[in-house]
């Protein structure tokens, strides 16, 4: 094998290695953005491309960091947690009112943290910076809350869970909203001693879907 051929092979290998490194870096960056912003980043990246999406989120982050967000005091967290417990328990007798109360608490804690709540579309963009992984659920919950009087029990139950995911993510936000991505709370089969209230889901017949009702032979309490 000639020296020229060896040089060509080496150059090709170097270029392949460099391309692989760049691709790996882009994949890691997209994974990081997805973990922080959730589907919000994917949606924007699909619309305008990853590079423009990154630039847009950098712009949003700069705006949010300039809002002067402030963490809640322990007293405020405790108060909000107690209010949530009351609203969740209310679901048994009045699901629609329970969801409306949850919507009001999300709005209240958002304002308490220092977000500008006067423009809802801008608020969604601001929340996408540190709470984007919960925004799809939040949008769904708002739609259900808007017709809470006509919505079915299962839709209202899901809306309450969607509100809860964002509510407690906001409640635990440190100063400026910065933190590592945290998995959204999921339903658990039973309450576990020592867990925080937002890591548990109220158990009982009023949480069951109609398919679960049919399987168990136990009627679900409905409004």
**pTM over the 0.85 mark:** no
Q: Which residues of 45-58 are buried (b: 16+ CB within 10 A; e: fewer)?
A: beeeebeebbebbe
Residue 47: the pLDDT is 85
> What's the gap between Cα 135 and its chain centre?
5
**Phi and psi torsions of 189, nearest 5°:** -65, -25
Q: Mind listing the pLDDT tens digit for each residue in 206-219?
A: 343 333 344 444 34
Residue 42: both structure tokens together: 């994917």
Residue 122: both structure tokens together: 């801008």
Whether the per-residue pLDDT at 198 is higher than 80: the answer is no
Residue 31: the pLDDT is 54
Whether the per-residue pLDDT at 89 is higher than 70: the answer is yes
Local confidence band at 46 (pLDDT 50, 70, 90 cut-offs): confident
The mean per-residue pLDDT over the stretch 180-195 comes to: 42
Local confidence band at 167 (pLDDT 50, 70, 90 cut-offs): very high
**C-alpha–C-alpha distance, residues 114 and 132, integer Å:** 17
Share of the chain above pLDDT 70, in %: 64
Residue 37: the pLDDT is 60
Average pLDDT, the chain: 75
**Cβ(80)–Cβ(171) under 8 Å?**
yes
Whether the per-residue pLDDT at 188 is higher than 50: the answer is no
**Cβ(221)–Cβ(205) under 8 Å?**
yes
Whether the per-residue pLDDT at 131 is higher than 60: the answer is yes
């Amino acid at each position: 094998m000639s020296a020229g051929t060896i040089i060509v092979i080496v150059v090709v290998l170097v270029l392949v290695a460099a391309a692989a490194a760049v691709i790996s870096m882009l994949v890691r960056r997209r994974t990081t953005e997805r973990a922080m912003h959730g589907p919000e980043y994917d949606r924007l990246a699909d619309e305008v491309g990853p590079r423009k999406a990154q630039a847009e989120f950098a712009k949003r982050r700069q705006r949010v960091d300039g809002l002067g967000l402030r963490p809640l005091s322990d007293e405020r967290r405790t108060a909000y947690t107690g209010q949530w417990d009351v609203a969740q328990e209310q679901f048994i007798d009045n699901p629609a009112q329970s969801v409306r109360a949850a919507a009001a608490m999300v709005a209240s804690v958002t304002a308490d943290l220092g977000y500008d709540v006067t423009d809802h579309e801008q608020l969604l963009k601001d929340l996408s910076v540190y709470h984007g992984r919960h925004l799809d659920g939040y949008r769904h919950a708002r739609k259900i809350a808007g017709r809470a009087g006509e919505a079915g029990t299962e839709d209202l139950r899901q809306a309450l869970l969607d509100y809860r995911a964002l509510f407690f993510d906001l409640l635990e936000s440190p100063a400026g909203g910065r933190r590592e991505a945290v998995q959204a709370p999921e339903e658990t089969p039973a309450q576990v001693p020592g867990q925080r209230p937002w890591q548990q889901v109220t158990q009982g017949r009023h949480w069951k879907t109609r398919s679960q009702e049919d399987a168990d032979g136990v009627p679900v309490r409905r409004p």
